[in-house]
Copies of this chain bind each other. A is one copy, B any other.
Amino acid sequence: MRHKEGNKEKAIIEAAIETFAEDGFYKSKIVDIAKKANVAIGSIYVYYKNKDDILLKIFDQIWEPIYNDMKRIASEKSYTPTQKFEYMLDSVFDAFEKYPEKAVVFVNEQNRLMKERPKSFTNYYELFIKEGEKIIKSGIKSSEFKNLNVRIFRRFVLGGLRELLREWTKNPTKRSLNQIRDSVKYFCKTGILDK
């Protein structure tokens, strides 16, 4: 039996992340991914069903670790809802700080993919959202948070986060992301009015 030459599956998905980040999903060519991964075109179809399948697996890779982090945070009894909320934001920022190309793919491709392939899109994202909403609800219950519409609030915050990540990816330094972290936390907690 023949051995696999290194890890082609991993090389392909990493090349795809770079390519999708650079050119966008639709303008990315399989042949370019193959070149970047140093494999033949045919090898891509050995490890992945098609171009869509690669993107779907990238999103698995993005959301599984963030969700696992969330679970840990949510179950930590000693944290207040405010702390949990801040750590939740941090787990998203941390994940993308390590791998800015994934942030680019997230900000550019997730919404379209979720719309087009709702059944196939990673389940970890939905689980992440659920945990996040639970944290907000617990804060409302303990009167630490205002009683605002949880669904609207979490969409607003995630949308804002995505937009800031989009900007950050143009200059993905630790320092610029820290400024974003602090601003978002501060604003989410107390709003814009100075009183």
* Residues on A facing B (Cβ under 8 Å): 24, 26, 82, 85, 107-108, 111-112, 115-116, 136, 139, 143-149, 152-153, 155-164, 166-167, 179-180, 183-184, 186-194
How many copies of the chain does the oligomer comprise? Answer: 2
Residues of B within 8 A of A188 (CB): 191-192
Most buried by B among A148, A160, A183: A160
Which residues of the partner chain B approach A163 to less than 8 Å between Cβ atoms?
155-156, 158-160, 162
Name the distance in Å between A183's Cβ and chain B's nearest Cβ: 5
Q: Contact check, A194 vs B156: say whether CB atoms are below 8 A apart.
A: no
A-B CB contact pairs (8 Å), 17 listed: A24-B115, A26-B26, A82-B193, A111-B166, A144-B193, A145-B193, A146-B194, A152-B179, A155-B164, A156-B161, A156-B163, A159-B159, A159-B160, A159-B162, A159-B166, A188-B192, A191-B191
B112-A146 in contact (CB<8A) = no
Chain B residues near A108 (CB-CB < 8 A): 111-112
The interface centre, meaning the residue of A26, A158, A159 with most chain B CB atoms within 10 A of its CB, is A159
Instruction: Tell me which residues across on chain B come within 8 A of A85, comparing CB atoms.
Output: 192
